[in-house]
Amino acid sequence: RTVYVNGEYLPETEAKVSIFDRGFLMADGVYEVTSVLGGKLIDFDGHAVRLERSLRALEMASPVTKDALLEIHRELVRLNGIDEGMIYLQITRGAPGDRDFAFPDPGRTPATVVLFTQNKPGLANNPVAKKGIKIISIDDIRWGRRDIKTVQLLYPSMGKMMAKKAGADDAWMVEDGFVTEGTSNNAYIVKGNKIITRGLSHDILHGITRAAVLRFAREAQMEVEERNFTLEEAREADEAFVTSASTFVMPVVEIDSARIGTGAPGRVAPRLREIYLEESLKTAI
Ligand code: PMP
């Protein structure tokens, strides 16, 4: 595959980043994942805006304009012939040439910009969405700025491994008795016709898919309540689901081995998935 590193398009085997890169040494970097459907970018604008926000929160200057970023995304889709898949983008604070906790002088150390594609044929018609996924609950022991999309993903990785060992697909994280979010997705429950999801704060990532799904839900006259919910409430809900750029809307049918509703995807999550795929394709670029 052809990847992008600091202004160049290269075969992946020739792409290089310094061992002093602060992304590598200190997880000092941010990322975005944008999905591609029909060769087009889903919600590129939302991802570009959140990227800016993450960079600003970490006092990093933006090394590429939004227009240049769009061009790189499109070029990678073209060069790699992606019809359905994802584009991963990472920007780190660069490689100051030594290891130091203090941030390097921003004017002297250029950021490292890396993008690559992940080909996922059948992403939209993922058969897993027909069956739904099983999740476990784990403590949320991450840092306090989960709204910044940093590359420190060790705990979410461990969470996925805990799920795997328990025979489940993913984990929801719980803090002070309330569900925060999934390891790599936002979490929702459904009670009757009401969609309930935690409100935005520093405690969760402000999902781009979350924003779109809630907008589409409200436009379809569905009731949305942004508030904290507990695991007990989730276990007694009619439905549960998660959203992310790579899974869109994914029904959750089991939490800690307890069935949600009938133990099969319900009415609301599959409908939201359909609406999301249809509507987001209309604005794909
Ligand atoms: N929460 C976390 C912790 C995530 O890692 C992700 C996906 N990166 C999300 C939520 C969903 O965000 P988005 O819809 O923008 O992919």
**Is 0.95 surpassed by the pTM of this model?**
yes
- Spacing, Cα 98 to ligand 1 middle (Å): 32
Residue 206, ligand 1, Cβ within 6 A: no
Catalytic residue among 40, 149, 164, 191: 149
Say what percent of the chain tops pLDDT 70: 100
Helical packing angle, 66-79 and 44-57, nearest 10°? 130
Instruction: State pLDDT tens for residues 93-124.
Output: 999 999 999 999 878 999 999 999 999 999 99
Residue 137, ligand 1, Cβ within 6 A: no
Model confidence at 42: pLDDT above 90: yes
What per-residue confidence (pLDDT) applies to 56? 98
Kindly state the average pLDDT of the residues 192-197. Answer: 96
Residue 42, ligand 1, Cβ within 6 A: no
Model confidence at 143: pLDDT above 90: yes
For a mutational test of ligand 1's pocket, the pick from 36, 185, 206, i.e. the residue with the most ligand atoms closer than 8 A to its C-beta, is: 185
Closest approach atom of ligand 1 to CA 211: 14
Residue 87, ligand 1, Cβ within 6 A: no
Residue 91, ligand 1, Cβ within 6 A: no
Instruction: State pLDDT tens for residues 13-26.
Output: 999 999 999 999 99
* Residue minimizing CA distance to atom 2 of ligand 1: 184
Q: What share of the chain is helix, strand, coil (3-state, %, to 5)?
A: 30, 30, 40
Domains (range + CATH), the chain: 2-119 (3.30.470.10), 128-282 (3.20.10.10)
* Residue minimizing CA distance to atom 9 of ligand 1: 185
Residue 244, ligand 1, Cβ within 6 A: yes
Residue 197, ligand 1, Cβ within 6 A: no
Model confidence at 41: pLDDT above 90: yes
Instruction: State pLDDT tens for residues 244-272.
Output: 999 999 999 999 999 999 999 999 999 99
Kindly state the average pLDDT of the residues 213-222. Answer: 97
16 carries an active-site annotation: no
Question: What does 106-161 look like in DSSP terms, one character per residue?
Answer: TTTSPPEEEEEEEE-TTSTT-THHHH-EEEEEEE----S-TTS-BS--HHHHHHHH
Strands (E), the chain: 2-5, 8-11, 29-37, 40-41, 85-92, 112-119, 133-139, 170-175, 178-182, 186-191, 194-197, 223-226, 239-244, 248-255, 258-259
For a mutational test of ligand 1's pocket, the pick from 135, 143, 186, 216, i.e. the residue with the most ligand atoms closer than 8 A to its C-beta, is: 186
Kindly state the average pLDDT of the residues 232-242. Answer: 98
What per-residue confidence (pLDDT) applies to 256? 98
What per-residue confidence (pLDDT) applies to 106? 79
What per-residue confidence (pLDDT) applies to 153? 98
The answer to whether the complex's ipTM is over 0.95 is: yes
